[in-house]
Structure 1
Amino acid sequence: MLKSRVIPVVLYDGRVVVKSIKFARHRNVGHPVNVARVYNAREVDELIFLDISATVENRPPNFELLQDVADECFMPLTIGGGIKSLDDIRLSLLAGADKVCINSAAFSSPSLIASAASKFGSQCIVVGVDVLKSEEGRYRIYKHSDKTMAKEDPFDFVRSLVELGAGEIYLNSVDNDGMMDGFDEDLIARVCESVSVPVIVAGGAGKLDDFAIAIKCGASAVGAASIFHFTEATPLEAKRYMFGAGIATRL
């Protein structure tokens, strides 16, 4: 049985780590290299670093900064933001990333997923999907790059991503982002039932029990930011809680 993971998620805007609420109202929380150093000392399972302004500003990833971050990381590192080409992926991996997270390009250039999986292997291709509920109560995909909702059905869309070669799905609930009020359990269960690859879920962790709930809904890993930035909870405490709840995890 694969062990469930707890993954701190670090959002940064240029060279500053921020934390958002519902993808807005950013709050500065430090420098990317310093944050990476702290999580490395805590021996976390993995780390996800996402540049939230790269695509919006139409610029490539800051590979120099990513190299500095990777130098502090002795755990698997996933980086995302501004990934639009095979060369972006190649340079990200050369900078020290173990995996890359593709988001906006999954819409603008879905063939990139297939090409990247063929060239670098599905195991290092993560595709991010941001989901919110419409006023009618339907799940919709939110496109961070242009602040619009996509026409694609989220559950059909994640299936198509796996068919293209995605090795992992990073599922984020926009409605729950930064709220620390629990995960959208129905969304997690439906996405996990739709695909055969691991799903990392994010958006909502506010207490240790939320981690166990997400895993029991079908997630392979739980990504979290606010709970680790703004409370005394640590990734190790989350894993110990999960272990106590009967969930296989690496301690």
Structure 2
Amino acid sequence: MLLGAERGAGCYAARVLAKRIIPCLDVHNGRTTRGQQFGRAEHGELRDVGDPVALALRYDEGGADELVFYDITATAEGRGAMLDIITQVAERCFMPLTVGGGVRTLADFRALFLAGADKVSINSGAVANPEVVRAAAEHYGSQAVVFSIDAKKRPDASGWEVYVAGGRKATGLDLLEWAVRGQELGAGEIVLNSIDADGMKTGYDLEATRAVARAVDIPVIASGGAGNALHMRDVLLYGEADAALAAGIFHSGQTTVGEVKRLLAAAGVHVRLVQHATLGW
């Protein structure tokens, strides 16, 4: 039996030169939700936007390069990841799946790979125990380990601080130093989640994304702030990201993966255009 990490390795290598467009599903209690600046469910700050399996199928048919699932309260509430949802999606979709939320141990990595994940994203668990990143990279390969970072600009504008537990807890870690540490531990790529920009639809944090992209040699995925396709273009061109992740603009139907890719191609950005009968390409 091939684990998801092994199945996804070839796809990762073939796609690394093309800019990727990645829908993201933030899942809470089995439903896809959206909020702003890491809104909290207990405060009524999350909005239900649909069934995660149905949305995943839509993005698979629409030409998404990958799909990211985050169990957004797993770490804060001490729960494991949503293995049943991942299994359903992996059985019906062909795009690579990245899953994060509540990942703390090598056993958590294995459980997600067995459920069908191609990559596993670790965030708070890496801060608590950095060596688990090294162990996972050595065991499953760097291509299967995603180093996710939630960062917020410091009040004095001296840089960005790393946060954990769904953006609830400051760590004192510097963003750029922590990104470099993730690469040294063996992670194959970094997801940079901007807490300031999250859900605001005013654009990605280009400065932070560019700084991280220049600090490391592994791919950087920009997350937080997409309000339209032009924002995705800007973070890939001017933010120097290797991929752009978005949620709300896709869930709402404001735009589609296909529309974003056509705009990017017209701007000279190398993307993977997939011919599909339902896309009208």
Change (3 A) 1:145 1:21: closer
Report deviation, 1:145.
4.8
* Separation in structure 2 between the aligned mates of residue 66 and residue 135 of structure 1, nearest angstrom: 38
Give 1:164's match in structure 2, choosing from 148, 169, 185.
185
Report deviation, 1:57.
1.2
| Deviating 4+ runs (over 3 angstroms) | none
Q: Does 1:100 align with 2:120?
A: yes
- Give the unaligned 5+ runs of structure 1: none
Matches within 5 A, 1:98-177: 98-138=118-158, 139-145=160-166, 147-177=168-198
Tell me the TM-score normalized by structure 1: 0.96
Report deviation, 1:142.
1.6
Corresponding position of 2:277:
none
* Separation in structure 2 between the aligned mates of residue 93 and residue 185 of structure 1, nearest angstrom: 32
Corresponding position of 2:266:
244
Counterpart residue type for residue 164 of structure 1: L
* Separation in structure 1 between the aligned mates of residue 202 and residue 100 of structure 2, nearest angstrom: 25
- How large is the Cα RMSD of the aligned pairs? 1.3
Counterpart residue type for residue 266 of structure 2: G
Report deviation, 1:146.
7.3
Give 1:188's match in structure 2, choosing from 190, 205, 209.
209
Q: Does 1:62 align with 2:82?
A: yes
* Separation in structure 1 between the aligned mates of residue 85 and residue 252 of structure 2, nearest angstrom: 24
Tell me the TM-score normalized by structure 2: 0.86
Residues 22-58 of structure 1, C-alpha deviation per residue, up to 9 Å, x if partnerless?
Answer: 0002111111111112112212111001101111111
Q: Does 1:208 align with 2:223?
A: no
Change (3 A) 1:15 1:167: same
Report deviation, 1:202.
0.7
Counterpart residue type for residue 93 of structure 1: F
- Give the unaligned 5+ runs of structure 2: 1-15, 40-44, 274-281
* Separation in structure 2 between the aligned mates of residue 57 and residue 35 of structure 1, nearest angstrom: 25
Q: Work out whether residues 202 and 226 of structure 2, in 8 Å CA contact, stay in contact via their aligned partners in 1.
A: yes
Structure 1 stretch displaced more, 58-67 or 85-94: 58-67
Q: Work out whether residues 22 and 175 of structure 1, in 8 Å CA contact, stay in contact via their aligned partners in 2.
A: yes
Give the length in aligned residue pairs.
251
Report deviation, 1:143.
1.5
Report deviation, 1:232.
2.5
* Separation in structure 2 between the aligned mates of residue 221 and residue 145 of structure 1, nearest angstrom: 22
* Separation in structure 2 between the aligned mates of residue 42 and residue 206 of structure 1, nearest angstrom: 19
Residues 162-198 of structure 1, C-alpha deviation per residue, up to 9 Å, x if partnerless?
Answer: 0000100000111100111111111111010010000
Report deviation, 1:72.
2.6
Residues 200-232 of structure 1, C-alpha deviation per residue, up to 9 Å, x if partnerless?
Answer: 001111121111111112100000001112242
Give 2:92's match in structure 1, choosing from 63, 72, 90.
72
Give 1:41's match in structure 2, choosing from 61, 79, 82.
61
Q: Work out whether residues 72 and 166 of structure 2, in 8 Å CA contact, stay in contact via their aligned partners in 1.
A: no
* Separation in structure 1 between the aligned mates of residue 203 and residue 221 of structure 2, nearest angstrom: 15
Could you say what secondary structure the match of 2:94 adopts?
coil
Matches within 5 A, 1:217-228: 217-228=239-250
Counterpart residue type for residue 141 of structure 1: V
Counterpart residue type for residue 34 of structure 2: K
Corresponding position of 1:22:
37
* Separation in structure 1 between the aligned mates of residue 179 and residue 78 of structure 2, nearest angstrom: 25
